[in-house]
Structure 1
Amino acid sequence: MEDTQENPLEFNSRIDLKNLQEATERIKTELGKVIVGQHDMLEMLIISILSNGHSLIEGVPGVAKTLTAKLLAKTMSVDFSRIQFTPDLMPSDILGTSIFNVKTNEFEFKKGPVFSNIILIDEINRAPAKTQAALFEVMEERQVTMDGIKYEMKPPFLVFATQNPVEQEGTYALPEAQLDRFLFKINVPYPSLEEEIRILENEHNRMDRLVLENISPILNAQEIAEYQDTIKQIIIESNLLKYIAAIVDNTRSNSNLYLGASPRASLAIMNASKALAAINGRDFVTPDDIKKIAPSVLRHRIMLTPEREMEGITADKVVQQIIETIEIPR
């Protein structure tokens, strides 16, 4: 407190972010042992953990979407569950089902793989709408209701879902209501030529050693909860809240868009911006934090008009235009 009084401009003294920053860097270092490049994806996934939000990871097959999510889960000493979505997967295969116990003459609920801490759903858009809808309640309310009984999920509860672009063969587009439950949609590009050369070199030098063996746990459930609480304390001024609201409101009246973002998007930008500020050692949000976070929060929540889609305009381009249109608070 003395430092704050002597130098009111010393913002970092208000909240101790040292341990959070160190943990973040250690996670990046651990994943860097295996994953080459993809820095934006790693940063966004770490932010989603700190913000207690789910992430949708999209990219063509083979760009390490699933591997990154598995390795990230390995850096946390919590339960991990992987669910491969297929066209014949049923809701009971995810949530669980009631089985009749002959000994007790009663039905017993057998929990499905969704009862874990970190859930990796591989190729989420391979399953039909009925199975995708099974995730609605558990993703939003972190509970499952079966036969009138609520089963609470133990924190942390985070869903990392991968999907191939919708143009790929045999995929089902996710409904808007489910997309809105994801904090981020992270687009994973192809690696650069230099990164691809490093990938080949790393694989050659690994000599068939399992990549998961190289990853050490960094965080436990209690530490994750503590850091998530720390994020809530990050300061965001009222003019920046108005800035976020203006960006989201613009999506609802934008002539390029058929569907705008919901208030859940505003909350997502605010919470994720706080997490970005924290991992950068700041206890306050800046307009740059918001500008960096906004595309990942909005790209899956807005829908282009058919005319703009035919012109080849992307959701990211519209979001960028909106950000450039809104006056930055000073």
Structure 2
Amino acid sequence: MTSTRIAQPSTPLTADDVERATAAIDRISDAFSSRVVGQERVRTALLVTLLAEGHVLLESVPGLAKTLAASTLAQAVSADFSRIQCTPDLLPSDIIGTQVYDPRRHEFETQLGPVHANFVLLDEINRASAKTQSAMLEAMQERQTSIAGTIHPLPSPFMVLATQNPIEEEGTYVLPHAQMDRFLLKEVVDYPEEVDELMVLDRIGDGTLGQHSERVAPVATIHDVVDLQAMVRRVYVDPAIRRYVVSLVRATRHVGHLLGPELGAYVEIGSSPRGSIAFFQAARAMAVVQGRHYVIPEDVRELRHAVLRHRIHLSFEALADRVRPESIIDAVFRAVPTP
């Protein structure tokens, strides 16, 4: 006779847990802001992705501090950081590692690649070939690499920050829709405000920003990050919020029925169930960032563009009419009742 094991609910977060999490997040946010001027949305996206144990895709033209943001966050939490400049001739072994023959010992030894770090910046991922992209995305999904038949687990925490330039198309390989879906969030980085750009010049002038500036002093440890990630898994999500998330994601698959044939013609493919999972995980992380032990509908709404913009595949009519996915997402959120 077999017995069925019933999963026990996780222990709810206490007020002390939330206070400890808030203090750690505030320290990390202050350290981030000491180097990166403005870019509050990027900071929130990186924190949410880190706490939700996901990966983030940053899209913008060059020069908007994406690399600086990634390295600063890694320094703030005492994490290993590696940067991979993607090029068309980049090979999978350049990322995951390979075996090298040692003539002195007459045997092969394994040299792990730069993906074996806590924070991995994939700069201009759309410049890497499809084979190299697949190798990286497999590491993201499986949290391990395989070299000559031997499995090498990736460190924990492990977070990939990929960037892509939407302007240049020559010599690029567009990420397939199925591979884009592997990223928890996709954040579009905008140009800074005038006051922020002036502050950048001030910081370069006084030496606090630039090539010769000092590294950010660590304000947290890897163990703190792992502790925060464990707290996120204990955040309470009401059944009404769960139904709200599922209704939103399902609505992207039936936009025509919800919003009419005109807008429905703009969406070719809606979000997969990964969209629901991403909302669930990211909303819990957002609740911790906001200092709460429970998720509210605003957490879901705040993340709507970052979660769905790369999971909705627009039709040719939408591209011809210059319809942005954010417009479709906003229309869906207006149509689905908020609990």
TM over 0.5: yes
Q: CA separation of 1:37/1:209 partners in 2, compared to 1, >3 Å: closer, same or farther?
A: closer
CA contact (8 A) 2:35 2:209 kept: no
Q: 1:264 Cα shift?
A: 1.5
Matched residues, number: 319
- Map of 1:1-330 to 2, 5 A cutoff? 13=14, 16-206=17-207, 210=211, 213-254=214-255, 255=264, 256-329=266-339
In structure 2, C-alpha distance between the alignment counterparts of 1:214 and 1:304, rounded to whole Å: 42
Q: CA separation of 1:209/1:261 partners in 2, compared to 1, >3 Å: closer, same or farther?
A: closer
In structure 2, C-alpha distance between the alignment counterparts of 1:227 and 1:234, rounded to whole Å: 11
Q: CA separation of 1:261/1:61 partners in 2, compared to 1, >3 Å: closer, same or farther?
A: same
Q: 1:170 Cα shift?
A: 3.2
In structure 2, C-alpha distance between the alignment counterparts of 1:245 and 1:308, rounded to whole Å: 25
CA contact (8 A) 2:268 2:313 kept: yes
Q: CA separation of 1:211/1:315 partners in 2, compared to 1, >3 Å: closer, same or farther?
A: farther
Which residue identity lines up with residue 156 of structure 1 in the other structure?
A: P
Q: 1:102 Cα shift?
A: 3.7
Give SS of 1:33's match: helix
Q: CA separation of 1:212/1:230 partners in 2, compared to 1, >3 Å: closer, same or farther?
A: farther
Q: Which residue pairs with 1:8 in the alignment?
A: none
Structure 2 unmatched ranges of 5 or more: 1-11, 256-263
Give SS of 1:77's match: coil
In structure 2, C-alpha distance between the alignment counterparts of 1:15 and 1:27, rounded to whole Å: 19
Q: Which residue pairs with 1:6 in the alignment?
A: none
Q: Which residue pairs with 2:8 in the alignment?
A: none
CA contact (8 A) 1:71 1:212 kept: no
CA contact (8 A) 1:36 1:198 kept: yes
CA contact (8 A) 1:116 1:154 kept: yes
Q: CA separation of 1:35/1:211 partners in 2, compared to 1, >3 Å: closer, same or farther?
A: farther
1:123-151 C-alpha deviation (Å, 9 max, x unpaired): 11111211111112210110112232221
- Which one is further off, 143-152 or 208-217? 208-217
Q: 1:244 Cα shift?
A: 0.4
In structure 1, C-alpha distance between the alignment counterparts of 2:149 and 2:169, rounded to whole Å: 38
Which residue identity lines up with residue 101 of structure 1 in the other structure?
A: D
Which residue identity lines up with residue 18 of structure 1 in the other structure?
A: E
- Which one is further off, 197-206 or 94-103? 94-103
Give SS of 1:110's match: strand
Q: 1:214 Cα shift?
A: 4.6
1:146-166 C-alpha deviation (Å, 9 max, x unpaired): 232221112111101111115
CA contact (8 A) 1:166 1:173 kept: no
Structure 1 unmatched ranges of 5 or more: 1-10
In structure 2, C-alpha distance between the alignment counterparts of 1:168 and 1:62, rounded to whole Å: 17
Q: 1:320 Cα shift?
A: 0.9
In structure 1, C-alpha distance between the alignment counterparts of 2:215 and 2:283, rounded to whole Å: 31
CA RMSD of aligned residues (A): 1.9
CA contact (8 A) 2:78 2:218 kept: yes
Q: 1:284 Cα shift?
A: 0.7
Which residue identity lines up with residue 17 of structure 2 in the other structure?
A: D
Q: CA separation of 1:266/1:114 partners in 2, compared to 1, >3 Å: closer, same or farther?
A: same
Alignment TM-score, normalising by the size of structure 2 = 0.89
Q: 1:171 Cα shift?
A: 2.6
CA contact (8 A) 1:15 1:283 kept: no
In structure 1, C-alpha distance between the alignment counterparts of 2:309 and 2:247, rounded to whole Å: 16
- Which one is further off, 190-199 or 266-275? 190-199
Give SS of 1:213's match: coil
Give SS of 1:182's match: coil
Q: Which residue pairs with 2:7 in the alignment?
A: none
CA contact (8 A) 2:54 2:183 kept: yes
In structure 1, C-alpha distance between the alignment counterparts of 2:210 and 2:61, rounded to whole Å: 25
In structure 2, C-alpha distance between the alignment counterparts of 1:182 and 1:140, rounded to whole Å: 10
